[in-house]
Amino acid sequence: MLLGSISATAQNFIDMEKDTIQMQEVIVSKKGKKLKMKTIRLMGPCYSPEPFKDADEIVTLVENVPAGVLESVAFYFNGVFDTKEELRSRASFGVLIYTVDADGNPAKRIAYDKKALIMDEKAKGKITINIGGLDLPSHDKLFIGLVKESGPDMIEDLFFDCLCNGHDKYKTLARTSEVAPWERRWVCAGMRVDVSVVLR
Return the minimum-mean-pLDDT range out of 12-16, 53-57, 61-65, 112-116. 12-16
Model confidence at 7: pLDDT above 50: no
* Residue range 59-71, pLDDT digits in tens: 999 999 999 999 9
Return the minimum-mean-pLDDT range out of 71-80, 99-108, 147-156. 147-156
Measured distance CA(51)–CA(29) in Å, rounded: 37
Q: What share of the chain is helix, strand, coil (3-state, %, to 5)?
A: 0, 55, 45
Q: Residue 2, Cβ neighbours under 10 Å: how many? A: 9
54: left (phi over 0), alpha (psi -120 to 50) or beta: left
CA separation (Å) from 18 to 13, 73, 81, 148, 199? 10, 22, 22, 31, 26
Model confidence at 18: pLDDT above 50: no
Angle of CA points 78, 71, 61, to nearest 5°? 60
Mean of all residue pLDDT scores within the chain = 80
Residue type, 167: H
Question: What value does the mean pLDDT take over residues 142-163?
Answer: 84
Q: For residues 2 and 78, which has the higher predicted lDDT (pLDDT)?
A: 78
Return the minimum-mean-pLDDT range out of 25-34, 56-65, 99-108, 183-192. 25-34
Q: What pLDDT, on the 0 to 100 scale, is given for residue 141?
A: 97
* Residue range 40-51, pLDDT digits in tens: 999 887 788 888
pTM here? 0.80
Domain ranges of the chain: 45-192
